[in-house]
Amino acid sequence: MTLCEKLSNAKSEEDVKVAYIKALGLIGYSKNLIDIQTKEIWFEAKDTTNTSTHLMFTQLLHYVQHALNKGDEIPPFLCVINTNKAAIMKTEDVIPFLEKKTITWGKRASSYTTEALEEVSAYIGTHFVSFKIETHEEEFIFTLKNAIKNGDFMVQYTADKTFSEEATTVLTDGKKLWQAYFAQTDVRIVRDELKLNCPDVGWYQIRKALQARNASGAFPLVNFKNFEEAYKEFSKKLQPQVYELGFLKN
């Protein structure tokens, strides 16, 4: 029986968790406040199709924030799952966001605040890959297993993909900003504040560093206009999939 078939017969959240555990061949896992927890990945699970991906990640990030505050070990990957879709994200992509400690969390993950949901949703929009289990079950299982095995998933996920014209333009203009970033060295206070010396520096930090340079007047001006326009066109192309994949379901 396929994962999709097992999920269609699921009667409870426990059934959903068991179906994914078996399909992914997870070992050394526990099921506690974090629905499924291994050394490599944490899961938030739901037994419904009506919970949005953003809401599930908001609840999962509640636990990541708690662990981060305590100095506990955090896994390299995060995954949210329900009866018809799953999404995976690298934890390092949200660490700069969580380290600011500006989010007003609820007392429990399930009692999330509207502010937390809005802030998380605005930040994680480009950081996760979503799969509709009915049509992309094999791709999801392959991607997640490779992430656990190789410590990454985006390279493997995009290896055989053909990018659209809009996506290619975003990549081309994004590379120019990346090159501009590495062409200069930021002042110590900016490097420390944005943790630019860490090996997992992402777009959030790069953008903030370039904006700080522009504001200082001490560096060559970096123009974001072409990238922002390209990203806006790319976003328009992706908008229909927001509804198709159920991102906004509550």
Per-residue pLDDT at 249 exceeds 60 = no
Give φ, ψ of 61 to 5 degrees. -70, -20
46 CB-near residues (< 8 Å, 6+ apart): 13, 16, 56, 80, 81, 82, 83
* pLDDT tens, position by position, 117-154: 999 988 887 788 889 999 999 999 988 998 888 777 66
pLDDT value of residue 225: 95
Compute the Cα dihedral for 232, 95, 82, 155 and give only its sign.
positive
Please give the pLDDT value at position 65: 94
Closest CA relative to residue 23, chosen from 132, 131, 142: 142
14 pLDDT tier (thresholds 50, 70, 90): very high
Tens of pLDDT, residue by residue over 71-126, are 999 999 999 999 999 999 999 889 888 988 888 898 899 888 899 999 998 888 77
220-244 residue pLDDT tens: 999 999 999 999 998 888 888 776 6
Q: Is the dihedral of CA 104, 66, 204, 233 positive or negative?
A: negative
pLDDT band at 20 (very low <50, low <70, confident <90, very high): very high
Q: What is the pLDDT of residue 37?
A: 96
